[in-house]
Amino acid sequence: MRSRRVGGVKFETLAVHAALRPDAVTGAVAPPIHLSTTFARDEAGVPLGGHVYIRESNPTQDLLEEALRLLEGGETAFFFASGMAAGMAILASLPRGGKVLFPDDVYHGFRAAAAEVLPGWGLRAGFIPMDRLERLADALEGGASCVWLETPSNPLLKITDLRAAVELAHRAGALAVVDNTFATPVLQRPLDLGADAVLHAATKYFGGHSDLLGGAAIFARDGELSKKVLQMRTLGGGAGSPFNAWLVLRGLRTLPCRVERQTETAGRVAAFLASHPRVVEVLYPGLPGHPGHDIARKQMRGFGAMLSFRTAGGRDFALRTVGRARLFIRATSLGGVESLMEHRASSEGPDSTTPQDLIRLSIGLEHPEDLIEDLDQALA
Ligand SMILES: *Cc1c(COP(=O)(O)O)cnc(C)c1O
């Protein structure tokens, strides 16, 4: 994988060194976890270390936010208790009466929020096939305050041309927010392509070990939007715990290494599935036949470690295949070291629009040959 140079060093180096400073008091190389909820002031009443109360800010979170800002190339970054908390704080910061245009296969949590929560906040929602920019352009003619982008998308792995979509949004006076959970800044940096904000479920690749819940919002500018989102986090109480901030920071150190290996393995798994007689379609932007392949090549450094495939024999055969997996664990979520497999329509529930014959894979760090062997026996 080609390496990207950011802030004077290669991205891999930045991931290790961002906000890495031996502790001034103890010399500890690994950062301490500050669990204190409250922070002392001097005789004049000035906070000794710049912090007052944990929900507003705390030292462990500060370190993580510095690293997040550098890795995504933004001016400011905020850690949240979850990806949903980060996304909902952004949505809650948009002006009332506006319209948000979501991808038609947006992460199902935001689809549910659009139906059940946003109307109460005075926000309307539209759902657009974002891989077809003419449809976005049409929708923008009706006015919108925000264009929400997710590429590769979940679970159909559709690709949106980020630079072009952001440009359309801006020309219409809308903000462009990108959920970059699937790609991570290792593969794609939306702020470099003009986006106003990037959202992450840190629960996924950032944490990387399926053992924490966290979210992040990173902003191109420290401005009106970011200030509102910070206020929303403080007043809505969406801050993450210091322990989880520390785990995410620890995860970021190995993020490039993990994502690159996982991506490489996903490419091999995709090629295997594409040649399998019981697979009718592989949804992976790394395959030359994928409709978003050329755009993905242009805006991503690699095609990611998520892929979906559709089996011959419909829902029953898909469920049977998932049931026969031995190494892949049957579970939702993604981005961990262990490979996961799920019948996505079942995970999403009765209002799912996902094809019933679709299986989604999150590729972990196992040896590719073992994963392929497992798929081969499960599909037999
Ligand atoms: C998981 C996920 C979220 C939500 O993150 P949580 O940490 O579970 O709240 C949002 N977007 C995408 C693409 C996700 O995969």
Instruction: Give per-residue pLDDT as tens, 321-339.
Output: 999 999 999 999 999 999 9
Q: Is the CB of 239 under 6 A from ligand 1?
A: no
Longest dimension (CA), the chain: 75
The token duo for 174 is 């809308």
Domain closes at, from 211, 238, 253 = 253
Residue of 102, 156, 204, 210 to mutate, ligand 1, most atoms within 8 A of C-beta: 204
The token duo for 175 is 């903000």
CB pairs under 8 A, 24+ apart, for 282-287? Answer: 282/307, 282/308, 282/309, 283/155, 283/156, 283/157, 283/307, 283/308, 283/309, 283/310, 283/358, 284/157, 284/308, 285/152, 285/157, 285/159
Regarding whether 226 and 137 lie in a shared domain, the answer is: yes
Residue of 84, 130, 205, 362 to mutate, ligand 1, most atoms within 8 A of C-beta: 84
Q: Is the CB of 206 under 6 A from ligand 1?
A: no
Output the CA torsion 39→74→149→246 (10° steps). Answer: -40
Residues 244-270 have a mean pLDDT of: 98
204 is catalytic: yes
d(CA 178, CA 83): 12
Q: Which residues are CB-contacts of 379 (< 8 A; sequence separation ≥ 6)?
A: 276, 278, 279, 311, 321
Residue of 88, 107, 187, 211 to mutate, ligand 1, most atoms within 8 A of C-beta: 107
Q: Is the CB of 203 under 6 A from ligand 1?
A: yes
Regarding whether 174 and 26 lie in a shared domain, the answer is: yes
Q: Which residues are CB-contacts of 251 (< 8 A; sequence separation ≥ 6)?
A: 202, 205, 206, 207, 208, 209, 212
The domain that holds 327 is classified in CATH as: 3.90.1150.10
Residue 208 has pLDDT above 80, yes or no: yes
Q: What is the position in ligand 1's atom list of the atom closest to the CA of 213? A: 7
Regarding whether 226 and 196 lie in a shared domain, the answer is: yes
Domain closes at, from 188, 223, 253 = 253
Regarding whether 247 and 305 lie in a shared domain, the answer is: no
d(CA 175, CA 169): 6
Helix (H) or strand (E) holding 115: helix 108-116
Regarding whether 172 and 24 lie in a shared domain, the answer is: yes
- Report CA torsion sign: 99, 105, 107, 111: positive
Per the CB < 8 A criterion, the answer to whether 339 and 369 are in contact is: no
Residues 140-166 have a mean pLDDT of: 97
The token duo for 112 is 């549910």
Domain closes at, from 201, 222, 253 = 253
- Report CA torsion sign: 71, 76, 81, 85: negative
pLDDT at 311 (0 to 100)? 97
Task: Please state the φ and ψ torsions of residue 334, each to the nearest 5 degrees.
Answer: -165, 170
Regarding whether 212 and 81 lie in a shared domain, the answer is: yes
Q: Is the CB of 82 under 6 A from ligand 1?
A: yes
268 is catalytic: no
pLDDT at 279 (0 to 100)? 98
The token duo for 95 is 């002006």
Q: What is the position in ligand 1's atom list of the atom closest to the CA of 334? A: 15
Regarding whether 235 and 140 lie in a shared domain, the answer is: yes
d(CA 217, CA 86): 6
Residue 351 has pLDDT above 80, yes or no: no
Q: Please, which pLDDT band fits residue 1 given cuts at 50, 70 and 90?
A: confident
Task: Please state the φ and ψ torsions of residue 79, each to the nearest 5 degrees.
Answer: -90, 145
Which of 278, 283, 332, 333 minimizes the C-alpha distance to 308?
Answer: 283
The token duo for 230 is 């910070």
The domain that holds 146 is classified in CATH as: 3.40.640.10
Q: Which residues are CB-contacts of 306 (< 8 A; sequence separation ≥ 6)?
A: 152, 154, 155, 157, 182, 266, 334, 360, 361, 362, 363
- Domains: count for the chain: 2
Ligand 1 mean position, distance from CA 49 (Å): 33
- Indicate the length of the chain as a whole number: 380
Q: What is the pLDDT of residues 307-322, one digit of tens each?
A: 999 999 999 999 999 9
Q: What is the pLDDT of residues 93-152, one digit of tens each?
A: 999 999 999 999 999 999 999 999 999 999 999 999 999 999 999 999 999 999 999 999
Regarding whether 272 and 242 lie in a shared domain, the answer is: no
Regarding whether 233 and 358 lie in a shared domain, the answer is: no
Regarding whether 244 and 263 lie in a shared domain, the answer is: no
- Report CA torsion sign: 343, 344, 350, 353: negative
What's the predicted TM-score (pTM) here?
A: 0.97
Per the CB < 8 A criterion, the answer to whether 245 and 64 are in contact is: yes
Regarding whether 94 and 228 lie in a shared domain, the answer is: yes
179 is catalytic: yes
Give residue 144's domain range. Answer: 5-253
Per the CB < 8 A criterion, the answer to whether 348 and 149 are in contact is: no
Regarding whether 137 and 13 lie in a shared domain, the answer is: yes
3-state secondary structure 137-195: HHHHHCCCCEEEEECCCCCCCCCCCHHHHHHHHHHCCCEEEEECCCCHHHHCCHHHHCC
